[in-house]
């Protein structure tokens, strides 16, 4: 178990990639606080992951029969009071935070010429303000605990301009990339590592609906040298590795999970 005994807070984890990261973290022995703006969704997903972990035996091995391998938290990442309350809850229940995963993000798919400024502000609030606030309030906790790991969900759009993606989204993910490097360089002395993960298009049921359009399917598959889309497991595996002690000397890295897209 690569994350045995670690305490992790994961945002936007009610579904999608966040839920898969939470699932993998629990399987690897972490105690996970699963945060989402939708409290009902967070509770349902947390219960499903906990049941699965107990049936596999991974939860009982680490936490015992009465242990709680994953717990839901309601968190609007754009709200500073919500962050303060969420981190207080984790500290009260687990005593520390070893890993923060800033996964929550949105994409309003409008080109810059048609993008209302309110939509840009909404994307910036979730995609940049959210990680900023989380990092701001978790750093003191990690310092007291002797260190920790901060992982930020970015995108290939935080590394390159992407002709299939709108400019506003790319702007937010570029900000996350340099926020990551700034934290990594300034807080390494406190034994706090910070890295960002940059997936290309991820194969999800929602995406497959979009890719019924032959032109869009050809676009997305054609840009990947490996000839396939990223899976949710591909992305979650990167988050497991970077949170583990195996990555103890990896800091400030923009970690692509893109099948070689950014190597063209």
Q: Would you list the DSSP string of 157-191?
A: GGTS--TTS-HHHHHHHHHHHHHHHHHHHHHGGGT
- Dist CA 244 CA 242 (whole Å): 6
Handedness of CA 12, 13, 15, 19 (dihedral sign): positive
169 assigned to active site: yes
Nearest alpha carbon to residue 28 among 69, 65, 89: 69
Q: Which helix (H) or strand (E) holds 199?
A: strand 192-199
Q: Give dist(CA 234, CA 257) in Å, integer.
A: 7
Q: Are 193 and 138 in contact (CB under 8 A)?
A: no
d(CA 60, CA 186): 38
CA dist 219 and 191 (Å) reads 42
31-36 sheet: strands from edge to edge: 70-74, 31-36, 7-10, 99-102, 148-153, 192-199, 254-257
SS3 248: coil
Could you give the 3-state DSSP secondary structure of residue 71?
strand
Q: Which of 25, 124, 169, 187 is catalytic?
A: 169
Q: Which residues are catalytic?
A: 169
């Amino acid at each position: 178990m690569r994350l045995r005994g670690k305490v992790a807070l994961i945002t936007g984890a009610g579904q999608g990639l966040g839920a898969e990261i939470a699932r993998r973290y629990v399987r690897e022995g972490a105690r996970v606080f699963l945060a989402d703006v939708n409290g009902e969704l967070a509770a349902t997903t947390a219960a499903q992951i906990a049941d699965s972990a107990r049936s596999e035996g991974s939860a009982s091995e680490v936490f015992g029969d009465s242990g709680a391998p994953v717990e839901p938290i309601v968190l609007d990442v754009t709200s500073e009071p919500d962050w303060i309350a969420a981190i207080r809850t984790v500290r009260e229940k687990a005593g520390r935070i070893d890993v923060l995963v800033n996964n929550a993000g949105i994409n309003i798919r409008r080109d810059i010429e048609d993008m209302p400024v309110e939509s840009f502000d909404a994307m910036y609030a979730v995609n940049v303000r959210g990680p900023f606030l989380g990092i701001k309030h978790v750093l003191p906790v990690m310092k007291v605990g002797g260190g920790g790991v901060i992982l930020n969900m970015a995108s290939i759009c935080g590394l390159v301009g992407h002709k299939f993606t709108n400019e506003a989204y790319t702007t937010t993910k570029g900000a996350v990339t340099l926020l990551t490097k700034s934290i990594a360089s300034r807080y390494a002395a406190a034994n706090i590592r910070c890295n960002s993960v940059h997936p290309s298009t991820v194969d999800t049921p929602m995406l497959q609906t979009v890719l019924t359009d032959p032109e869009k399917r050809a676009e997305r598959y054609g840009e990947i040298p490996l000839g396939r889309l990223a899976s949710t497991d591909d992305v979650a595996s990167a988050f497991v590795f970077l949170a583990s002690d195996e990555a103890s000397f990896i800091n400030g890295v923009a970690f692509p999970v893109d099948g070689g897209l950014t190597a063209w």
